[in-house]
Amino acid sequence: MSELKNDRYLRALLRQPVDCTPVWMMRQAGRYLPEYRATREQAGSFMDLCRNADLACEVTLQPLRRYALDAAILFSDILTIPDAMGLGLYFTPGEGPKFERPLRDLKAIEQLPIPDPEGELQYVMNAVRTIRRELNGDVPLIGFSGSPWTLATYMVEGGSSKTFATIKRMAYDQPAMLHLLLSKLAESVTSYLNAQIKAGAQAVQIFDTWGGALSEQAYKDFSLQYMQKIVDGLIREHDGRKVPVVVFTKNGGLWLETIADIGCDGIGLDWTIDIGKARSRIGAKAALQGNMDPAVLYSSPDSIRAEVGRILEAYGKGTGHIFNLGHGITPEVDPENAGVFIEAVHELSAKYHA
């Protein structure tokens, strides 16, 4: 494998010195780019795009052709694992992902298989291998998975939910049943992420999108302990280089200390917490990734630059910050504004690394 020409993302995650703050965007390959929409149409459907290694590679690389990003992230979906478990994933326009066979009883959970990453999920590994080859060492490749709790919400509810009533009822009435599901998911996610690392991912991120919907105790019981199991089971060195892991719990700012204690290298922050306060709370335990409100990208270039400057100042001097949005870039954003954001991070951050 070729040496990395730009490794500041990995260096910052490991809290090593960098020349400027690295930046990438969650959902950087996505609907805000006209070239993405064209490729998505060519693929036929979202999952067909995910399953075609060449097209998944194409959309992964599209934002890197436009912008001086410091990392690429695998183009895939968090629901690949539940899909491979045979729950019948489908997409309804305007309603998001749904499952034909949501999990409602113990027998269904007991019968769930652990997917083979190089079997049912080989299309993901093929995409990782293709992207890594085509990147040719320009920037690192990030692999990812949904967290067990977040995956379980879709699998039990049958799709996205505002109240999580069905899975929360299960959590309080039948906790052993939910723990069995989460254990199977933790095992599946661990093998899935390790396979991505073997296929060429140079860092991995666990997306716990719905962890923040839980109470503090329920978060520890049903989300955090399973992410801990995954972090403990991950390959942390490959190809002669450390493989950092980032944990991102949306609306998890209250629990930063407990997240830092599970041994991840980086913690993703949404925009509801001040990054300077987050840094003072966890100190040297982990790098921080975030955390501009994606809605700032609807504003003027001057406003975008001002907000980038404010967040950099809040974090302060030194390494350990990966600049990102507090969640994914939204489809209505003008691609020019994304460019302003990325340039501003590099330009305005240099003084904090001098």
Question: Strand (E) positions, 147-194?
Answer: none
Q: Which residues pair with 347 in a beta bridge?
A: none
- Pairwise CA distance, residues 18 & 331, whole Å: 31
Residues with a known catalytic role: 27, 31, 40, 77, 154
Q: Say whether 27 counts as a known binding-site residue.
A: yes
Euclidean distance between CA atoms 267 and 288, whole angstroms = 5
User: Which residue in 208, 236, 203 sits closest to 220, CA to CA?
Assistant: 208
Would you say 353 is a known binding-site residue? no
Assigned token pair, 88: 């019948």
Compute the distance between CA of residue 323 and CA of residue 140 in angstroms, rounded to an integer.
15
Instruction: Report the 10 Å Cβ neighbour count for 24.
Output: 24
Q: Is 169 annotated as ligand-binding?
A: no
- Exposure letters 173-183 (e unless 16+ CB within 10 A, then b): eeeebbbebbe
Using CA atoms, how far apart are residues 245 and 242, in angstroms rounded to an integer? 10
Gap between the Cα atoms of 234 and 281, Å rounded: 26
Torsion angle of C-alpha atoms 146, 41, 157, 229, degrees rounded to 10: -10
Q: Is 190 annotated as a binding residue?
A: no
Q: Token digits for 130?
A: 């293709």
Q: Are 165 and 104 in contact (CB under 8 A)?
A: no
Q: Which residue do the tokens 């895939």 mark?
A: 76
Q: Which of 68, 53, 84 is nearest to 199 (CA)?
A: 53
Q: Is 77 annotated as a binding residue?
A: yes
Q: What angle do CA 44, 45, 47 make, to 5 degrees?
A: 130
28 is in an annotated binding site: yes
Angle value at C-alpha 231, between 29 and 161, nearest 5 degrees: 55
Q: Is 200 annotated as a binding residue?
A: no
CA 242 to chain centre: 18
| CA dihedral of residues 146, 22, 232, 85 (deg, nearest 10) | 20
Residue ranges for the binding site for substrate? 27-31, 77, 154, 209, 327
